[in-house]
């Protein structure tokens, strides 16, 4: 009997102990705690998501970021499980969402979670002003059809003349018809191709190698291309014309007319001795090549890039054998033309001309050997003529179809000096800081050679501007966004997601599906939606304003 009592007492003590042990572990499991954050870089307006044990609404939960109380916008519990040593364990996880606000901006801002007065620091995060990577938040709004506003429709094949000065005119050219869009106002007119030399025709007007540019006020369109007229010595020659077309009365003024042979891809000494032709001076008197890119400002000045003198134009099509995009030139308001700079490390980027002299062909004649200002990068993005700024970048080939962009550059043309550069910190895994100062941001910038660089100048009147660039956020699952590279405050931030692929009703996107061609004075991007599977005409869309 005594032993039986002892046995019962032992079981009672054991059961009580087990019960208390179970209660202890239940209490331990329910102690407030927060798990590690998924990322450490956020921006104003983003959602920070915390998981852990927060009392699921029954406890006093407080969260602060950088010493600022954060508003809890959502607190829910969800059931989850995991397996360990072939045993299934079930548990409940609390999920809290808080909104990032302006007072929280700063580097290494502590995230402190307090439950019933007991607090702990979860992480230190970077909080920036601009929007963060869409993959890291659920509050960033995509650019969708409800946000966009259709501004204009143009026939397929329309040539678009971008202008990135805020409020500037955007010109659309289809045949002889010109449409000028500016701040919602639309002007239409037709050009009669005639000047002091008489009537002429444009050879292959849709050629991508010809130059077009408009001034910000929308008064004039400048064109550099091959033409034919009755005064040419023969059908084996063409006239390079630099023209100014009025966007008010659609008259044509020829600033320069240079005749070249276009039946062979070289210039024979029988036509010209390129050592003696006038290369700089009054625009009407120089031996002027076709300029692929033209940039005009409100002071009446022009910048040029991409000259070419070797052309074949025998079948109604015009194609250059060599075009040097990193050769730069300018014309001041008085009409004086001069060359400004050329590339330093790639012979194909020099202004090279194929010539024949003494029966021998020289395939690498340097047309401007006296120009000593050189640029170290191998791609030209564009020129902000209003602020005398050039944007360029260097690329590394990844194969036949894509490139990695290693460094972006901003160059002040008026001061002949480099203003700034940005080299990302390469991270082939998941970048931890994708928005922020130049010296901390990580990423991998790419472009596709088949569609050209989808990089766009950003509106920054009077300031060294910014670029749009497509950033590969995560090499594993291909998340991308449109980034802004700001040379003025040396930061990178996110403007919008980059959405690949298309399905009916999908979101509008920047990138392969559409190009930014200008901005309103209030900095609304004007985007031309092209290359979509459902689009047979160019839809010109006004997108969300830039913050």
Q: Write down all domains in the chain, each with its CATH number in brackets.
A: 37-129 (2.60.40), 180-380 (no CATH)
Which of 84-98, 117-131, 279-293, 340-354 is predicted with the least confidence, judged by mean pLDDT?
340-354
Residue 186 CB contacts under 8 Å (≥ 6 apart), including other chains = 152, 179, 180
Contact in structure between 315 and 207 (CB atoms under 8 Å): no
pLDDT band at 249 (very low <50, low <70, confident <90, very high): very high
Which of 64-78, 221-235, 252-266 is predicted with the least confidence, judged by mean pLDDT?
64-78
* Structure confidence at residue 468 (pLDDT): 54
User: Is 143 a residue whose pLDDT tops 70?
Assistant: no
* Structure confidence at residue 144 (pLDDT): 46
Contact in structure between 533 and 512 (CB atoms under 8 Å): no
User: Is 479 a residue whose pLDDT tops 80?
Assistant: no
User: Is 138 a residue whose pLDDT tops 60?
Assistant: no
User: Is 451 a residue whose pLDDT tops 80?
Assistant: no
- Higher per-residue confidence, 75 vs 293: 293
- Higher per-residue confidence, 388 vs 37: 388
* Structure confidence at residue 12 (pLDDT): 45
Which of 59-68, 380-389, 434-443, 538-547 is predicted with the least confidence, judged by mean pLDDT?
538-547
Residue 78 CB contacts under 8 Å (≥ 6 apart), including other chains = 92, 93, 95
Segment 90-123, tens digit of pLDDT:
777 788 888 888 889 887 788 998 888 878 888 8
Bridging pattern class, strands 61-65 and 328-331 = unpaired
- Tell me the backbone φ, ψ of residue 21, rounded to 5 degrees: -65, -45
pLDDT band at 4 (very low <50, low <70, confident <90, very high): very low
* Structure confidence at residue 407 (pLDDT): 82
Tokens 């994708």 correspond to what residue? 434
- Higher per-residue confidence, 469 vs 452: 469
Name the most confidently modeled range: 86-95, 172-181, 456-465, 479-488.
172-181
pLDDT band at 346 (very low <50, low <70, confident <90, very high): low
Tokens 């921006």 correspond to what residue? 43
Residue 105 vs residues 130, 248, 295, 486: alpha-carbon distances, Å: 10, 49, 38, 18
* Residues comprising the chain, all counted: 547
pLDDT band at 394 (very low <50, low <70, confident <90, very high): confident
Q: What distance in Å separates the CA atoms of residue 250 and residue 219, rounded to the nearest whole number? A: 10
Per-residue pLDDT, averaged over 318-339, amounts to: 89
Per-residue pLDDT, averaged over 173-201, amounts to: 94
Q: What distance in Å separates the CA atoms of residue 250 and residue 267, rounded to the nearest whole number? A: 34
* Structure confidence at residue 322 (pLDDT): 75
Name the most confidently modeled range: 1-5, 116-120, 222-226, 406-410.
222-226
User: Is 450 a residue whose pLDDT tops 70?
Assistant: no
User: Is 177 a residue whose pLDDT tops 50?
Assistant: yes
Residue 41 CB contacts under 8 Å (≥ 6 apart), including other chains = 125, 126, 128, 132, 133, 136, 432, 433, 434, 435, 436
Per-residue pLDDT, averaged over 112-139, amounts to: 67
User: Is 485 a residue whose pLDDT tops 70?
Assistant: yes
Per-residue pLDDT, averaged over 511-538, amounts to: 60
Residue 395 vs residues 22, 391, 392, 467, 484: alpha-carbon distances, Å: 62, 14, 10, 16, 18
- Higher per-residue confidence, 317 vs 444: 317
* Structure confidence at residue 477 (pLDDT): 43
Percent share of the chain, pLDDT over 90: 26
User: Is 419 a residue whose pLDDT tops 70?
Assistant: yes
For the chain, give the mean pLDDT.
76
- Higher per-residue confidence, 316 vs 179: 179
Q: What distance in Å separates the CA atoms of residue 396 and residue 428, rounded to the nearest whole number? A: 15
Percent share of the chain, pLDDT over 70: 67
* Structure confidence at residue 262 (pLDDT): 92
Per-residue pLDDT, averaged over 245-259, amounts to: 97
DSSP string, 199-214: EEEESSTT-TTSEEEE
Q: What is the pTM of this model?
A: 0.71
Contact in structure between 409 and 382 (CB atoms under 8 Å): no
pLDDT band at 247 (very low <50, low <70, confident <90, very high): very high
* Structure confidence at residue 470 (pLDDT): 53
pLDDT band at 208 (very low <50, low <70, confident <90, very high): confident
Which of 39-53, 203-217, 280-294, 357-371 is predicted with the least confidence, judged by mean pLDDT?
39-53
Give me the torsion for CA of 232, 234, 237, 241, rounded to 10°: 10
- Tell me the backbone φ, ψ of residue 26, rounded to 5 degrees: -65, -45
User: Is 496 a residue whose pLDDT tops 70?
Assistant: no
Residue 87 exposed, middle or buried by CB count within 10 Å (0-12, 13-18, 19+): exposed
User: Is 148 a residue whose pLDDT tops 70?
Assistant: no
Residue 82 exposed, middle or buried by CB count within 10 Å (0-12, 13-18, 19+): exposed
* Structure confidence at residue 57 (pLDDT): 58
pLDDT band at 22 (very low <50, low <70, confident <90, very high): very low
DSSP string, 109-127: EEEEEEETTEEEEEEEEEE
* Structure confidence at residue 443 (pLDDT): 65
């Amino acid at each position: 009997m005594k032993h039986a009592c002892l046995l019962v007492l032992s079981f009672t003590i054991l059961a009580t102990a087990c019960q208390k042990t179970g209660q202890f572990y239940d209490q331990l499991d329910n102690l407030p705690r927060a798990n590690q954050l998924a990322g450490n870089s956020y921006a104003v307006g983003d959602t920070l998501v915390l998981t852990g044990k927060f009392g699921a609404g029954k406890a006093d939960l407080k969260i602060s970021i950088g010493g600022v109380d954060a508003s809890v916008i959502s607190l829910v519990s969800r059931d989850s499980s995991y397996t360990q040593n072939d045993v299934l364990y079930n548990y409940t996880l609390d999920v809290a969402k808080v909104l990032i606000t302006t007072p929280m901006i700063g580097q290494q801002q502590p995230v402190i979670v307090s439950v019933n007065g007991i607090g702990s620091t979860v992480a230190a995060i970077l909080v920036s002003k601009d929007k963060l990577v869409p993959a890291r938040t659920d509050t960033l709004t995509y650019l969708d059809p409800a946000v966009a506003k259709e501004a204009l429709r143009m026939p397929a094949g329309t040539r678009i003349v971008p202008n990135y000065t805020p409020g500037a005119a955007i010109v659309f050219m289809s045949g002889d018809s010109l449409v000028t869009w500016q701040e919602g106002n639309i002007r239409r007119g037709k050009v009669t191709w005639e000047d002091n030399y008489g009537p002429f025709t444009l050879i292959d007007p849709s050629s991508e190698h010809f130059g077009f540019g408009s001034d910000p006020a929308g008064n004039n369109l400048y064109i550099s291309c091959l033409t034919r007229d009755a005064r040419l010595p023969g059908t084996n020659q063409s006239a390079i014309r630099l023209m100014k077309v009025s966007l008010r009365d659609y008259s044509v003024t020829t600033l320069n007319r240079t005749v070249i042979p276009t039946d062979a891809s070289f210039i024979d000494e029988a036509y010209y001795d390129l050592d003696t032709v006038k290369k700089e001076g009054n625009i009407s008197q120089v031996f002027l090549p076709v300029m692929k890119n033209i940039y005009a400002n409100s002071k009446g000045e022009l910048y040029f890039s991409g000259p070419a003198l070797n052309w074949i134009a025998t079948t109604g099509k015009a194609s250059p054998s060599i075009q040097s995009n990193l050769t730069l030139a300018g014309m001041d308001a008085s009409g004086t033309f001069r060359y400004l700079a050329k590339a330093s490390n790639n012979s194909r980027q020099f202004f090279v001309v194929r010539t024949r002299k003494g029966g021998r062909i020289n395939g690498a004649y340097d047309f401007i050997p006296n120009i000593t200002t050189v640029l170290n990068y191998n791609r030209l993005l564009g020129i902000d003529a209003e602020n005398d700024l050039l944007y360029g970048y260097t690329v590394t080939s990844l194969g036949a179809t894509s490139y990695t962009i290693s460094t972006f550059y901003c160059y002040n043309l008026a001061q002949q000096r480099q203003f700034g550069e940005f080299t990302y910190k390469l991270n082939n895994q998941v970048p931890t800081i994708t928005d922020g100062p130049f010296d901390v941001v990580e990423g991998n910038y790419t472009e596709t050679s088949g569609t050209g660089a989808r990089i766009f100048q950003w509106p920054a009147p009077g300031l060294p501007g910014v670029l749009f660039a497509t950033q590969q956020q995560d090499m594993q699952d291909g998340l991308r966004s449109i980034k802004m590279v700001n040379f003025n405050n040396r930061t990178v931030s996110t403007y919008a997601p980059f959405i690949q692929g298309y399905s009916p009703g999908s979101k509008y996107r920047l990138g392969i599906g559409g190009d930014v061609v200008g901005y309103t004075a209030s900095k609304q991007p004007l985007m031309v939606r092209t290359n979509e599977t459902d689009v047979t005409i160019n839809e010109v869309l006004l997108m969300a304003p830039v913050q």
